[in-house]
Chain A
Amino acid sequence: MPPSTLLSPSELSYLHSSLSLDLPIRPDARSPTTFRPLVAETDLLPTTNGSARLCFADGSEAIVGVKAEVERTIGASSTSSDVFARGEDGDGDTKMQSAEEEMNEERRRLARGKGQDSWIEVTIDMPGFARDDDGVVVFLAQMLQEGLVADEGLRDRLWIGWGWHWRIYVDILLLTTPNSYPLPLLSLTTHLALLATRLPAPISRIDEDPLFNDDWDAAEPLYPPSGSAHASKPPFTLLVISVEDNIFFDPSREELAVADAVCAVTVGTIDAPVSSGKRREGTPKLRLLSLRIIDPPARLAAATSGTEAEDDQGAWRPARGGMKRAVVGKMVKVVLEVGGVGEEVMTGLEGFHDG
C-alpha cells in the first residue's frame, strides 16, 4: 500500500534534494533521528493480561490486547533424570522467601531451550479494510511473530512445568485506515502491550499440575523489568529510509515518497545477565534481529513510468539500483550503538508504561 502524496514532481525533487544535503533539512525541521510525538497508554482493558493503545502523529491508532492461556504441552515427556536432577540441595535452614526464589530460579534453569515457537500467536485485525486472510495482514502478522519468537528468553518463560505451558495470543486491532506502512505502529503497540503483560505467579512445583497465585498484584511481568538480573524487552520494528547517504527515522508520508530505500529494522534484546560496566544499570543490550528492505513507493511508481532520458534538473526521478553497504552499516550502527536510537525508543516507550 504505497502512500500517495499531493506533491508535484518538482516539489518531490525539491524535497529529495533538501534531504540529500550534507546537513539534511526535513520538511518539519526534525533532526534525522527525531521521532514525531506519539500518544500511548497501557493497561486499559480489564480482560487482558496486558494491553496498550498507541496513536501516531499522523492520526493512525492501534490497540493491542495480550491474553495468556494455560495449555497442555503435547508430546512432552518428563524425563526422570531431569526431574530428579535437582536433588536434595535445599538446606534445612533456608527461609520461606528464598525457597520461593529458588523454585523460580530452578524453573528458569530447567525451562532453557524448552520453549516452542507455536506458543506465541499474533493476529492482526483491520475491520473494514482487509480480510483476515489478506496477504498484507498475514505478512505483517508473520513479521511481528518472527521478532517475538526470535527471543529464546520469551519462549522459555512460557514454560510452566512438565507438560504445561502458557500460550499467548497477541491480538492487534488497527483502528484507522492504514495510510502508510503500518508496521512500526503495530510493532511499537505490541511492544508496549507485552511490556505491560503479566502472568499469574505459579505456586505449584514444576512436576505438579499448574496452580497459580490468585493475587494479581503478585503476577510476574512477562518481560522482567530493567534493573532485574534477567532484564529483557520485547522486540520492535522501526522504519528507516535512506536518501543518498543520509538516513532518516520515523519518515512522514512525503519523505517516504522520495525515499531511495525503505528498511524495516527489527531490534531485540540479548537475553543474558548484564555485566559490562559501560552500560547503564539494568539496561539490556540490543541486537539486530532482522533488516528487511521494503520496496519504496517510488520504485512502484517507476515501474510504470518506463524509461526516460537521464538527468533533467527540477523533475524528480526515483532512484534505481539497491542500497549502498555503507548506508546499511550506518543504519545498523545508529540503531544499535550505546545511547543510540534503539535505546532511546526503548526507554521512551518504557516511560509510557511506568507513567
Chain B
Amino acid sequence: MPLDTSTYSLALLRLDGRRWNELRRMHAQISTQPTADGSSYLEMGNTKVICTVAGPAEGRKAGGGGGTGGDANAMVQVEIGIAGFSGVDRKRRARGDKRTSEMQLTVANAFSNTLFTHLYPHSTILITLYVLSQDGSLLAACLNASTLALIDAGVPMSDYIAACTSGSTSSYNNNDEAADPLLDLNGTEEQELPFLTVGTLGAGEKVSVLVMESRVQAMRLEGMLAVGVDGCKQVKEILDDVVRRHGKRILLERVKI
C-alpha cells in the first residue's frame, strides 16, 4: 500500500494527525495474568502485546528461542508468538520464523545485560510475548511490555528499558534536504519510510538497543536517533507511571485489609 507522504510538507501533519514529535496513545497494565510470575499488557497505538514472565526458576536445558547467559548467570529466554489474526491479512508464522527469532534474540540480549542475572545462577527467566495486534513499533512494544512484566515478577534490574521507533520523512531514494525526523511510526509509515528502533536504559541517554533494518542516508541518522532517545524519555515516564499506580493500588488494598 503506497503511502502518500507528500501531504506532510504542507501541513506538517502525519496521516493519523500527529505532529512529528508525538507518540501514539500508550496504555499499559501490569499483573494481568494471575497464573504467571509477572505479566503485563501493553498497547502502543494499535499494537497490542501481552507479556508473561516465568522465573527465575530452574531452567529447561534444551529450550528454543533466543537465550543468553552462562552457568554463573541466569539465562534469559524469550519466546514471541505472533498470532495469525494480528495483522491486516491473516498470516500464520511458523515457529522458527527468522524475523521472530531475531526479535527474540534482541530482547534476550537487551535484558540479560540489564537484569542482575548474577543473582540467580543456574536459573532461567522465560519471557513469553504474545502479539495480538500489530501496527508498527512491534519490537519497541515487546521491549516495553517485557520491562513491565519483569518489574511485576520482581526481577532486579538496573533501570527500565524504554523503547520507541523513529523515522525520517525522506526515503533513501529522494534525497530530500528538508526531511523531518518522525517519532513512533505506525504500521503504514513503517512500510514506506526508513525507521529505527531505539531502547534506552531509563530516561538517560544510554542506548541499550538499536535496531535498523532499512536504508537511510547517514546524515539523517543523527536526527532520527536524537528524536528516538527523546521519545524513550516520554515512554519511560509512561511506564513509570503505570508501575507507580499499580504499586499504589496494591498498598491501598493492603491498608483496607
> How far is it, in angstroms, between the C-alpha of A125 and the C-alpha of B134 when the chains are bound?
17
Interface residue range, chain B: 20 to 34
Closest B residue to A126 using CB positions: B81
Residue-wise interface mask of B (57-89) relative to A, using a CB-CB cutoff of 8 A (1 in contact, 0 not): 000000000000000000000011101111111
Given contacts A45-B133, A59-B34, A67-B90, contact A127 B84 (CB under 8 A): no
Set of chain B residues within 8 Å of A286, measured between Cβ atoms: none
- How many Å from the CB of B127 to the closest CB on chain A? 10
Interface residue range, chain A: 20 to 34
> How far is it, in angstroms, between the C-alpha of A176 and the C-alpha of B90 when the chains are bound?
23
- How many Å from the CB of B131 to the closest CB on chain A? 10
Query: Is A173 part of the contact surface with B, judged by Cβ < 8 Å?
Result: yes
Q: Which of B79, B87, B132 has a CB less than 8 Å from the CB of A63? A: B132
Interface segment, A22-30, A46-54, A97-105? A46-54
Closest B residue to A131 using CB positions: B95
B79 & A128 in contact (Cβ 8 Å cutoff) = yes
Question: Interface majority SS on B: helix, strand, loop or mixed?
Answer: loop
Q: Which of B33, B80, B84, B94 has a CB less than 8 Å from the CB of A65? A: B84
Query: Is A132 part of the contact surface with B, judged by Cβ < 8 Å?
Result: yes
Query: Is A271 part of the contact surface with B, judged by Cβ < 8 Å?
Result: no
Set of chain A residues within 8 Å of B79, measured between Cβ atoms: 127-128
A125 & B84 in contact (Cβ 8 Å cutoff) = yes
Given contacts A176-B33, A177-B35, contact A65 B85 (CB under 8 A): yes
B84 & A169 in contact (Cβ 8 Å cutoff) = yes
Chain B, 35-52, CB within 8 A of any chain A CB: 35-36, 46, 48, 50, 52
B81 & A47 in contact (Cβ 8 Å cutoff) = no
- How many Å from the CB of B99 to the closest CB on chain A? 16
Query: Is B137 part of the contact surface with A, judged by Cβ < 8 Å?
Result: no
B90 & A69 in contact (Cβ 8 Å cutoff) = yes
Given contacts A59-B34, A67-B84, contact A175 B133 (CB under 8 A): no
Chain A, 18-51, CB within 8 A of any chain B CB: 44-48, 51
Q: Which of B34, B85, B95 has a CB less than 8 Å from the CB of A45? A: B85
Residue-wise interface mask of A (116-134) relative to B, using a CB-CB cutoff of 8 A (1 in contact, 0 not): 0000000101011001100
Query: Is B117 part of the contact surface with A, judged by Cβ < 8 Å?
Result: no
Query: Is B126 part of the contact surface with A, judged by Cβ < 8 Å?
Result: yes
Q: Which of B34, B36, B83, B94 has a CB less than 8 Å from the CB of A173? A: B83
Set of chain A residues within 8 Å of B89, measured between Cβ atoms: 69
Set of chain A residues within 8 Å of B146, measured between Cβ atoms: none
> How far is it, in angstroms, between the C-alpha of A177 and the C-alpha of B132 when the chains are bound?
18
Query: Is B18 part of the contact surface with A, judged by Cβ < 8 Å?
Result: no
Given contacts A47-B88, A123-B92, contact A128 B33 (CB under 8 A): no
Query: Is A61 part of the contact surface with B, judged by Cβ < 8 Å?
Result: yes
Query: Is B200 part of the contact surface with A, judged by Cβ < 8 Å?
Result: no
A127 & B81 in contact (Cβ 8 Å cutoff) = yes
Set of chain B residues within 8 Å of A66, measured between Cβ atoms: 85
B126 & A46 in contact (Cβ 8 Å cutoff) = no
Q: Which of A45, A60, A69, A131 has a CB less than 8 Å from the CB of B132? A: A45
B95 & A59 in contact (Cβ 8 Å cutoff) = no
Query: Is A171 part of the contact surface with B, judged by Cβ < 8 Å?
Result: yes
Closest B residue to A69 using CB positions: B90
Chain B, 90-104, CB within 8 A of any chain A CB: 90, 92, 94-95
Set of chain A residues within 8 Å of B86, measured between Cβ atoms: 45, 47, 65
Chain A, 126-151, CB within 8 A of any chain B CB: 127-128, 131-132
Query: Is B120 part of the contact surface with A, judged by Cβ < 8 Å?
Result: no
A169 & B130 in contact (Cβ 8 Å cutoff) = no
Set of chain A residues within 8 Å of B92, measured between Cβ atoms: 123, 171
B33 & A169 in contact (Cβ 8 Å cutoff) = no
A176 & B35 in contact (Cβ 8 Å cutoff) = yes
Set of chain A residues within 8 Å of B36, measured between Cβ atoms: 176
Given contacts A47-B85, A60-B35, contact A173 B90 (CB under 8 A): no
Given contacts A127-B79, A128-B128, contact A67 B35 (CB under 8 A): no
> How far is it, in angstroms, between the C-alpha of A341 and the C-alpha of B137 when the chains are bound?
45
- How many Å from the CB of B62 to the closest CB on chain A? 13
- How many Å from the CB of A341 to the closest CB on chain B? 27
> How far is it, in angstroms, between the C-alpha of A173 and the C-alpha of B84 when the chains are bound?
9
A171 & B95 in contact (Cβ 8 Å cutoff) = no
Q: Which of A48, A61, A69, A125 has a CB less than 8 Å from the CB of B33? A: A61
Closest A residue to B64 using CB positions: A128
> How far is it, in angstroms, between the C-alpha of A327 and the C-alpha of B15 when the chains are bound?
63
A47 & B128 in contact (Cβ 8 Å cutoff) = no
Q: Which of A45, A123, A171 has a CB less than 8 Å from the CB of B48? A: A45
Closest 10 CB pairs of A and B: A65-B85, A127-B81, A59-B35, A171-B84, A67-B90, A59-B34, A48-B85, A171-B85, A67-B85, A176-B35
Chain A interface (Cβ < 8 Å from any Cβ of B): 44-48, 51, 59-61, 63, 65-67, 69, 123, 125, 127-128, 131-132, 169, 171, 173, 175-177
Chain B interface (Cβ < 8 Å from any Cβ of A): 33-36, 46, 48, 50, 52, 79-81, 83-90, 92, 94-95, 126, 128, 130, 132-135
Given A127-B81, A171-B85, output 15 extra A-B contacts at Cβ < 8 Å.
Answer: A45-B133, A51-B85, A59-B34, A61-B33, A63-B132, A65-B84, A65-B85, A67-B84, A67-B90, A127-B80, A128-B79, A128-B81, A132-B94, A169-B90, A176-B35
